[in-house]
Amino acid sequence: MKALTLSLSFFLSIALQAADKPAHSAVTPEPRDGDWWIKRHASFNQRVAKGNVDLIFIGDSITHSWESGGKNVWAKYYAKRNAVNLGVSGDRTQHVLWRLDNGNIKNISPKVAVIMIGTNNSGEGRSTAEEMIDGVTAVVDKLRAKLPKTEILLLDIFPRGQRINAQRGKILQVNQVLSRLDARPHVTFLRIGQNFLSPDGSIAKEIMPDFLHLTPKGYAIWAKSIESTLARLMGE
């Protein structure tokens, strides 16, 4: 009885701490303006309503562009796995949270959800490192709540900028904390960002021409970097 009381007290204290923590934009679900965004969101809902979804990719423009620069790599690795791309250019964590609440994963139970989100929260005047961590964690929490049977493959936020800079340093700080989510049930954290870097730590234009978005070669690196882990989580 004493142990139970202590356990309940512990979880109550954690809940109270979470309740006391003020909400901020990165964890507050929010849609975006623009017909194109609403149409893309609606297209996701239409696709998942058809069922036959075993794998989903959730993210921003880097995920979105599997449909352009990464389309051949996607066809090779993911088409046969009944994969659905839920990436939207420009999205931040708050936009993903809104989409997850509004139909993007309704009535599906994929084997794996791959998440790579947060870079658009990292800009100056947007989210702090702590807020970014909260935002990505909120996305993981929502997926766990809505898709309890799905394995989550959480990727580190990819490096950006030709060389090390303040924004890349902030992202490294965030990734270090996000790696702790690997201890949670059904969550695997995988750090692959270093695979896009040259030996001197710079990013080559043949991988990221604008030092953010990937070329076909960059998408091949992404796919190869996660393949063994993804296959295991898919039960293959």
Active site residue 25: no
Q: Return the closest-CA partner of residue 155 out of 45, 78, 82, 62.
A: 62
Q: Return the closest-CA partner of residue 173 out of 138, 234, 130, 236.
A: 130
Q: Which of 24, 25, 61, 179 is catalytic?
A: 61
Q: Which of 41, 64, 95, 213 is catalytic?
A: 213
Active site residue 24: no
Could you report the per-residue pLDDT of 180-189, keeping only the tens digit for each? 999 999 999 9
Mean pLDDT, to the nearest integer, of 52-70?
98
The whole-number pLDDT of residue 125 equals 79
In our burial notation (b when 16+ CB lie closer than 10 A, e otherwise), range 28-55 reads ebeebeeeebeebbeebeebbeeeebbb
Q: What is the dihedral of CA 206, 208, 210, 214, to 10 degrees?
A: 120
Q: Which of 7, 9, 68, 210 is catalytic?
A: 210
**In the chain, what are the domains?**
53-234 (3.40.50.1110)
The whole-number pLDDT of residue 1 equals 41
Active site residue 95: no
The whole-number pLDDT of residue 23 equals 84
Could you report the per-residue pLDDT of 84-129, keeping only the tens digit for each? 999 999 999 999 999 999 999 999 999 999 999 999 999 887 999 9
What number of other Cβ atoms are within 10 A of residue 114's Cβ? 28
- 30 phi/psi in degrees, rounded to 5: -150, 130
Please state at what angle helix 129-146 crosses helix 93-101, rounded to 10 degrees: 20
